[in-house]
Amino acid sequence: MKNIFLTETDVLNYIEKAKPLILKDYQISRETEDYFISILEFYLKSIGKEKIFDHLSYCLRELINNGKKANTKRVFFNEEKLEISEPEQYEKGMKLFKTKTISNIEYYLDLQEKKGLFVQVYYHIKDPYLNIIISNNSTLQPQERERILSKITHAKTFNSIEDAFNTVLDDTEGAGLGIVIMILMLRKIGIFDKNFAIVQENNMTHVRIAVPLSLVTEEDVESLSEVLVKEINTIPQFPENIRILGKMIESHDVDFKQVSELIRKDPGLTIDILKMSNSAHYRRLNKIEKIELAVNIIGAKGLKYMLQSYGIKKAMEEKYDAHILEQIWKHSYEVAKISSILCDKYNLTNFGEQSYIGGLLHDIGMIVLKSLHEKTLDKIAKFCMNKNISMNIIDNLLEGANHFQIGAKMTEKWGVPQHIIDIIKAQSNPFGAEEDVRKIAKIVYLANIIANKIDDNNFEYLSYESMIVNDFKIPNESDFKKLVEEIRVKIKDK
């Protein structure tokens, strides 16, 4: 088979000349799937719609995999000597399909190629739309079409993703919950019925998504639900001792001895400041154990950041359950430490303080989401793990914003510096961050990935994580594993 991978120059040439770009493959490896989806980013950037890449890439991935499964289904039924067009035999085959094919998928993919069954992705900008068409050369059977249309119709009745996760439990078809989430995703970015169609012609099945070039999405206006706005408005202010300390370090002639004495009265704050002073950014030969030394090393600027993050922590403790807070703070401290180590490793020491605080606060919005939707978030996490996609893509369907946008709104309420707010917000897409925070946002994003790998004891990075890994010039999975292991040892020693 000929090489389907085009150069960036080739892709941009197709876009500039408004020529249709057609990509086709028979087996659709993970690498090929990622490549097909990477082309989407070039097209969205060309029309100024890169903000919807995460949403649209989920939809594209879902449709590519559905086309691939449809082809696998044909060769499987043929091998089992079942007639796919007969309803009874179809039901019998579908009960066996998932179990039998998953354990021997390479065999069935080879059969697909021998039978000439392929999946094709078509991109074309033709005013007023960016047209994306995913096709496969297997004709939908009536029962397949009926199931798909039923899921689409069902999806339109859901008011929220919570309804979807609590209602859709069909495991016989791979397209059950995935299609419902896709429809909710398209609705979220302003793509409705007239811009989405399933068409059959000449033994081909085509699914078309037409993205209006004039599209204005909820992502652009950053819509929060009323429930969420109310929840954020009821979060308490900082404790009094934090407000007093904040005023003291704002003074031009700040007395660090007096500041240290007041800090010592709060054991939790003392521990947090000692942790920060022992991070890679402030590293010393010996472990820092005295609060006076820690305060002098961190300085007024670092103390200001730490007081704000600690104030947020205490305010949240007044309102939210300990089991939610404990889980998120444990992870956040790890991300903060790893962010500091990465700044040191990549000679970005000027960003040490900001990346540490960004790491501490990056998941603050998840506390609110978990308190409102804990059971649903657990289901979303499982769904995303099975689909090999980022949870960030889906969690903004819950309350009109993802948990990083929620965290940004919360930190605005407490008067946290804008660049820290921007670091939090940028965690959904660090590559799209403003230039002045992009490097720090990438550091925190990579630190979050590494922290998750250490917690899960799993060194394999997922497709959606590969872009940031490549950005840090980590050439392959073996080198990534070495980096994770190196950091695991360092944070253990802290």
Residue identified by tokens 């499982």 is 382
Residue 450: exposure state from Cβ atoms within 10 A (0-12, 13-18, ≥19): buried
pLDDT above 50 (res 151): yes
Report whether 207 contacts 133 (CB < 8 A).
yes
Query: How far is 71 from 424, CA to CA, in rounded Å?
Result: 42
Q: Is 309 helix (H, G, I), strand (E, B) or coil?
A: helix
Query: How far is 255 from 247, CA to CA, in rounded Å?
Result: 12
Residue % of the chain over a pLDDT of 70: 93
**Burial readout 312-326 (b: 16 or more C-beta within 10 A, e: otherwise):** bbbbbeeebeeebbe
- 279 phi and psi angles, rounded to 5 deg: -75, 165
- What are the residue ranges spanned by the domains of the chain? 8-216, 226-254+315-493
Report whether 11 contacts 97 (CB < 8 A).
no
Average pLDDT over residues 454-478: 78
Report residue 69 as tokens: 């499964």
Query: How far is 207 from 449, CA to CA, in rounded Å?
Result: 33
Residue 342: exposure state from Cβ atoms within 10 A (0-12, 13-18, ≥19): buried
Tens of pLDDT, residue by residue over 448-463, are 999 999 987 766 666 6
Query: How far is 178 from 228, CA to CA, in rounded Å?
Result: 26
pTM to 2 decimal places: 0.75
Average pLDDT over residues 415-430: 92
Query: How far is 425 from 419, CA to CA, in rounded Å?
Result: 10
User: What sign does the CA torsion over 242, 246, 249, 251 have?
Assistant: negative
Report residue 89 as tokens: 């035999």
Tens of pLDDT, residue by residue over 175-208, are 468 888 999 889 888 898 899 999 999 999 999 9
DSSP result, 131-181: EEEEEESSPPPHHHHHHHHHHHHHHHH-SSHHHHHHH----SSTTHHHHHH
Query: How far is 17 from 37, CA to CA, in rounded Å?
Result: 20
Query: What is the third-level CATH fold of 8-216?
Result: Heat Shock Protein 90 (3.30.565)
Q: 226-254+315-493 sits in which CATH class?
A: mainly alpha
Q: Which of 13, 342, 159 is nearest to 167 (CA)?
A: 159
Identify the pLDDT of residue 1: 45
Identify the pLDDT of residue 354: 93
486 falls in which pLDDT band (50, 70, 90)? very high
Report whether 390 contacts 404 (CB < 8 A).
no
Identify the pLDDT of residue 270: 95
488 falls in which pLDDT band (50, 70, 90)? very high
111 falls in which pLDDT band (50, 70, 90)? very high
Query: How far is 280 from 286, CA to CA, in rounded Å?
Result: 12
Tens of pLDDT, residue by residue over 98-108, are 999 999 999 99
Tens of pLDDT, residue by residue over 377-413, are 888 888 887 777 778 778 777 776 788 989 999 999 8
Query: How far is 454 from 389, CA to CA, in rounded Å?
Result: 19
Side chain identity at residue 164, one-letter code? A
CA distances from 430 to 18, 49, 111, 423, 443 (A): 29, 16, 41, 8, 9
Identify the pLDDT of residue 317: 92
Query: How far is 364 from 411, CA to CA, in rounded Å?
Result: 9
